[in-house]
Amino acid sequence: MDNLEKSTKMSQTLGITRCRGKEFRWGERTYVMGIINLTPDSFSGDGLGGDVATALAQAKRFQEEGADIIDVGGESTRPGATQISADEEVRRVIPVLERLAAEITLPISIDTYKWEVGRRALEAGANMLNDIWGLKQDPRLAELAAEKGMPLILMHNQQGTFYEALIPEVMASLKQSLKLALDRGVAWENLIIDPGIGFGKTLEHNLEILRRLDEFKALGRPILLGTSRKSVIGRVLDLPPQERMEGTAATVAIGITKGADIVRVHDVAQMVHVCRMSDAIVRGKS
């Protein structure tokens, strides 16, 4: 029996993940991750381009509005975006991370798939790694998470949009990512999965994942759902990114009914309300 099988078998509940003095008690409520985008070319129109003062103000506002985690990213992942070097990504994110670590109390996640960026980010004050490639680009990120005892988010992603069986293939890929992390020493309770809405998937694939999100509970780890302002909403409603709040709210509410534990969003205040109302209905948490 390998590490993944042992961990899945031993896990009766999702347990507790600890990060920067906070406890994430999975299943008790939905947690909100606020997005700080330091790219100049964000698909959602909120890219700050490395503006430290504006990023700090936004993070403080998110904290006041009820966010539980701040997620900082320095490279655009929109379709067709130009890949940047690790050096450029570091230049964008490190000054912001240093200020955030000094001036806010929330856990800070770094959205990167590059080992060097992850290493520098943790040194600058990040407390969590968010890898959009689920260790498929650089498994050494797992070693960083293990060494620091920090949570690691593993997202499903692939080149192209062909699947013979969507849900089984996405789940198999996430299971492989979990095994990579466990084999490199990441604690089971520090692992979070993300099915990757909008990454290597068509409109129909994204909608099917939302309908069947509860099936991912079989992997035994909390689920992060990232639908905020994405093209799946734009294509259904025929709206630009800045007008997709109501569509995002619908995906968040339905995602919670299907088992989402964290939602990654741009509009924190509004989505905190959606989560609280949904939790009151779904989890009995008023």
Of the candidates 119, 181, 185, 116, the residue with the CA atom closest to the CA atom of residue 153: 181
Q: Which helix (H) or strand (E) holds 24?
A: strand 22-25
Q: Over pLDDT 90: what percentage of the chain?
A: 87
The predicted model scores a pTM of 0.94
Read off the pLDDT of residues 104-128 as tens digits, 9 standing for 90 and up: 999 999 999 999 999 999 999 999 9
Read off the pLDDT of residues 137-157 as tens digits, 9 standing for 90 and up: 999 999 999 999 999 999 999
Of the candidates 68, 42, 66, 46, the residue with the CA atom closest to the CA atom of residue 192: 68
Q: What is the DSSP letter of 160?
A: S
Of the candidates 264, 276, 283, 285, the residue annotated as catalytic is 264
Q: Over pLDDT 70: what percentage of the chain?
A: 92
Of the candidates 230, 235, 244, 258, the residue annotated as catalytic is 230
Q: Give yes or no: 29 in active site.
A: no
Read off the pLDDT of residues 239-257 as tens digits, 9 standing for 90 and up: 999 999 999 999 999 999 9
pLDDT value, residue 44: 47
Q: Mean pLDDT, the chain, as a whole number?
A: 93
Confidence of residue 45 (pLDDT cuts 50, 70, 90): very low
Q: Give yes or no: 18 in active site.
A: no
Averaged pLDDT for residues 208-225 = 98
Q: What is the DSSP letter of 3?
A: H
pLDDT value, residue 242: 93
Is residue 21 within 8 A of residue 127, CB to CB? The reply is no
Angle subtended at Cα 139 by Cα 134 and Cα 143, rounded to the nearest 5 degrees: 115
| The CATH homologous superfamily of the domain defined by 3-10+29-282 | Dihydropteroate synthase-like (3.20.20.20)
Beta bridge partners of 22: 19
| Number of separate helices (H) and strands (E) present in the chain | 10, 10
List the domain boundaries for the chain. 3-10+29-282
